[in-house]
Every structure is written in C-alpha cells, then in structure tokens.
Structure 1
C-alpha cells in the first residue's frame, strides 16, 4: 500500500489540531477560563502531545521497522499514543496541580483516539491504493486502445499507396512522404497524452492527402477552425478516426464531411458532420455501449474520451440531412 506523503501528513495534523483546539476552547469556555495563559498553554500542549507526537512517532516507527503486520502496527500505534497522552498528563499536572491523571485514566483516554486515527490512516492508504490502481488500469487500457487504432489506420493507408505505385509513381512518392509524417507523429506522441489542436490538424491534413488521392472528387471536406482554439490541448489522433469512420460508412458519393473547431464558453467544441446514412437507432439509444459494429475508430475514440475528465461526446443525426453528427466538448482549463 502507498505511504502517506509529508504534505498529506501535514494536512492531517492541522485538521486534528483544529479539532483539538475547538474541544479545548469549549472546555475552558465552560469553565470560564477562556483567554487565560494557562488555557492557551494547555491547548498547545494538547495539540502537540495528544496528536502530533503520537502520530508522527507511530508513522516513523512503522516505517523504520518496516513492519507489514496490522497487529504490530496497531500495537505500535497504541504505545505511541499512550506515551504521548502520558506526557500530556504530566504537563497538565504541572500547569494545574489539582489535576492528577493515573495510568488507567490515560489508557482509557488514549485508546479511542489511537484506534480512531489508525482506522482513518488505514482507510486513507487503501483509498490511495485504489486510486493508483484505477489510474494504472486506465493508462494500460488507453495504451491498448492506441495499439488497436494505429494498425487499423496503417492498413488502410498502405492499401492506398499500393494502388499508386505503378499508376502514378510521383503521386505515390508524395503520399509516402505524407504517410511518413503520420508515422513519425505516431512515434513522437506514443508517450504523450495531449498535443495542441494545431498539431492535430497539421497531421490530419497529411492523412487527408492520402484519402483525397484514393477517392478523388468523391471526397470533399470543409474545415472551419477558430484561431483562438489552435493552442488547446487535445488527445493525439482524436479527429482522424472519426473522419475515417464517416468515409467508411458512406453509402453515396461524393462523401461530404464538415469539421468545425470553435470556442464554446469555457470549452473547445469539435463538430463533425457527414452526408451518410447517420447512426442507427441502436447506437443513438446506447451511445457508448454498442459501437463496435459501427467501426473501431468511433468506438476507440468514444472510449478515449470516457477516460478523460471534463470531456463529453454526443452522437446524433442531423435533422435535415440525416447524416451522422459527432459533438465533442473539451473544457479548455482542464486540458
């Protein structure tokens, strides 16, 4: 299980200090001694010896001994709290000679706080371990999604190049350069979570050159981008699979695609429209849960966006043309 960091420990100690100070203030307010020097000193002593010293000592001892046993951790935790409370009792007796706490009093006073703080300590470590496990699983799943996407993209592109090698060698050479740029981009972004929208559009154009060569006049695409959003960070290869999916499922030619990237309040809105048959009712009804038959590019992209915080994707059909519409919203301040 992950260890508690110094920052987390400091926050916990400050929180306990607030609780202790509140309890002390209420106690001395009831006794009519609020603001006296003795009350302030007693409050400071309580914060140090009832919480700070026992917890810090327990964590240091557990880490130093390297024990993994819950039984030994609880035992050390109880010992440290008892010692801290014992020192507090001695200090309190020096401030107020009439106060005399025996070892049994100290034991029953320290026991609830020792058990309670230890339970919180273990619960928080378990929570941290769960969060780390989730992040690692999401990272592994994202890598798997990338591996699913890239071979699919390369297979289609290589087929296009093969067709031009004999019929138009010059064109094939140019397209080879475009594909090389795309491949280089894949390698450069393999361990990158986000890139700028400007970079994404530049590499998208390389891919579009290959598609235009394959389809000729049967493909038209209109791109409208607000310059204000060019520096917004988005996941790499977010747009290409969606456009490829529209081309793949086209039932009439020419295939007409529209790509819009614009600011929408505090978010980047990406709209992709086509003139195809639109999404089936089953896809619209289930959105993200029934997309595999509709294309690996679309299903992969939807899963990627689902892993992102502050991001949404909505699938619909244009009410006029009945073509498919993909609406992505990415909050700018969250990347």
Structure 2
C-alpha cells in the first residue's frame, strides 16, 4: 500500500508547503528566526501535515479496494484526520511553548487545509488517470493500426493464388507461403513498437515476391540500404504500405520502377521511396493521403512518433520520404 505514488508525492509536496508557510510567517514578522521556530515548524509538519494526510490516504486507498466510498466520505476522512492531527499539534506546541491553545479552532483550521489538500490531490489524481487513459487509447489505436493490412493487398494476393493454382501450382504455393509469412509477421509484431530494419526488409522482399508474381517483368524494385543499418530499429510495416501505394496507383504501367533508399541522418532513419509513375495529384500533395487504408494508417502511426514525418513530392514520379526517429 505504501508503495502507492501518493505517499511519496504527498510527502515532498507537504514538506514544501510547510517550509513556505514557515518562511512566510518569518517574513511578515509573526515568527522569529530561531531554533525553537524550526522545531515548531517540524512538529507542525509531522503531526499536522505528514502523518494525518498519510493516515487519511491509507484509509481512503484501503476503502477504495472494497467499495466506492465517494468524494464526500473521502473528504470527511481527510478533515477528521487533520482535525486529530491539529489537536495533537496544539497539545505538543502548548506543552513546549507558552502560546494560547487553539481549542475548537482546530476544526475550521483542519477544514481549510483539508479541503485544499484533498481537492488538489484529487485533481492531480484525475488528471493522471486521464493521461493514462489517453496513452492507453493511443497505444490500443497504434496496435490496431499495425494489425491492419490493406484489404486490396489481401484481395489481390488471393486472386494471384487463384489464378495460378491450376496453371502454375508451384508459383501459387510460393505466393501462399509468402502471404502466410506476412500475416504471421503482422500478428507477431502487433505488440512491438520497433523491429530491426533487416527484419522489416525481409518481409518487404516477401511482399515484393507476391507482387512480382502478379506483374512479372513489368515491376522492377531496387533496395539501397547499407548493411550497417540492419540492426537499426524501425516501426513494423511502415515501408510496405508506401510500396503498395505506388504499385496500386501505377498498376497499368508497362514498366514500373520503384527505388527504395534508406539512410541514417543524425538521429533519424530516412526512408525514400521513389517511382517512375504518374506522381501524386495536387490534393494529396497539399492535404495528405485520402481514404486509402494502408497509407492513412501509416500517416496516423507516424504522427504518433515524436519527430516522425512524411514528405510527399513529385520528381516527376511520386516520392515519399519517411523520417523515423531512432530510439
């Protein structure tokens, strides 16, 4: 229970409040600078702030495990704990120094400090939960996007297998195995943020084998990636959608050439995919990708990477530059 972050955070927060409060009393002339003042401040911190707040926090967290006690009950627990702590503090201070007793004033004093302390920590707790939920949703969305493969790719692959299953069963069998490997890779990496570049390039080659079974000599792809980058980490399945998009929009071209160039520049991995096709239409250059599943998912995934970017250009064929921050 005491491992809960509340206890560590509250200790240092309350210590800061106590020190600032004591300094304020000195500055306005209500407390002299002396060892007795330091000792009194320490008593206030331990018996009024630290122990009562920890006691209230412990009780609230314990009760939350079994039931939903509600905000009012939690607030009352804090007020009661601080009232008791204030009464103990009053007795200790009065026994050591000749100062007036607080009497029933301990209740409004505890009410004031307890309300401030409880609702500040409740606000911070709510904010932390919201941040965790946001991160969880982003992570779930990212994993969902990683898991999705373009349905056009699946449809075309199955069509290729169907077309060759009687005329060229060996080729159909090869395509089926390559497709199975890609599906397995998609499943196996769905929970991984990054994979080695060599592994990603390996699955790209399997994907290209499927596409070459469809287009034969009409498709030519070159991959320029230094071997020293093989162990560099990259998000899984971020290059394949770019290649698929180039093939999809230039399927009727008699000689489609795609060049993949991978380089490391400073702390980023630069992936450039260029084709000799018709290039991007103007709305895509200015507004980004449309409704295509693969590229739309890729855009969302890259947006969630701090420092990740996608650049589109016509050279005159389509060119996609992918900036992936190295972890």
TM-score tier by shorter-chain length is: 0.7 to 0.9
Q: Distance in 2 between matches of 1:224 and 1:100?
A: 84
- 1:85 to 1:284, Cα distance in 2 relative to 1, 3 A: farther
Are positions 1:24 and 2:18 aligned together? no
CA contact 2:146–2:186 (8 Å) conserved in 1:
no
Structure 1 segments, 4+ long, off by >4 Å, are 28-33
Q: Deviations over 1:221-247 (max 9, x none)?
A: 221224443333332211111110110
Match of 1:77 in 2: 78
Aligned length: 322
CA RMSD between the two structures: 2.6
Match of 1:328 in 2: 322
Change in 2 beyond 3 A, CA 1:228/1:39? farther
Q: 1:298, 1:254 → 2: CA distance?
A: 23
Partner of 1:284: 285
Unpaired runs of 5+ residues, structure 2, are none
Contact 1:311 1:328 in 2 (8 A): no
| 1:302 to partner: Cα distance | 0.8
Cα pair distance change 1:300/1:309, threshold 3 Å: closer
SS of match in other structure, 1:149: coil
How far apart are the structure 2 equivalents of 1:145 and 1:28? 59
Give yes or no for contact 1:268–1:332 (8 Å, CA) kept in 2. Answer: yes
Q: Among residues 5, 29, 39, which one is paired with 1:41 in the alignment?
A: 39
Normalising by structure 1, we get a TM-score of 0.85
CA distance in 2, matches of 1:91, 1:281: 78
> Which secondary structure does the structure 2 equivalent of 1:133 belong to?
helix
- Following superposition, the deviation at residue 280 of structure 1 comes to 2.0
- Paired with 2:245 and 2:151, the residues of 1 have a C-alpha distance of 15
Alignment partner for residue 316 of structure 1, among 312, 318, 324?
312
In structure 2, the partner of 1:233 is 233
Following superposition, the deviation at residue 254 of structure 1 comes to 1.6
Counterpart position of 2:138: 138
CA contact (8 A) 2:257 2:276 kept: yes
- Who is 1:187 aligned against? 187
Distance change in 2, residues 1:87/1:324 (3 Å): farther
The whole-number CA distance in structure 2 between the counterparts of 1:179 and 1:169 is 15
| Structure 1 residues not aligned, in runs of 5+ | none
Residue 260 (structure 1) aligns with: 261
The alpha-carbon distance between structure 1 residues 94 and 267, as it changes in their structure 2 partners (threshold 3 A), is: farther
Q: What is the Cα deviation at residue 33 of structure 1?
A: 4.6
How far 1:42 moved relative to its partner?
2.1
Rounded to whole Å, the distance in 2 between the matches of 1:213 and 1:159 is: 11
Report the Cα distance in structure 2 between the residues aligned to 1:227 and 1:274, rounded to whole angstroms.
Answer: 23
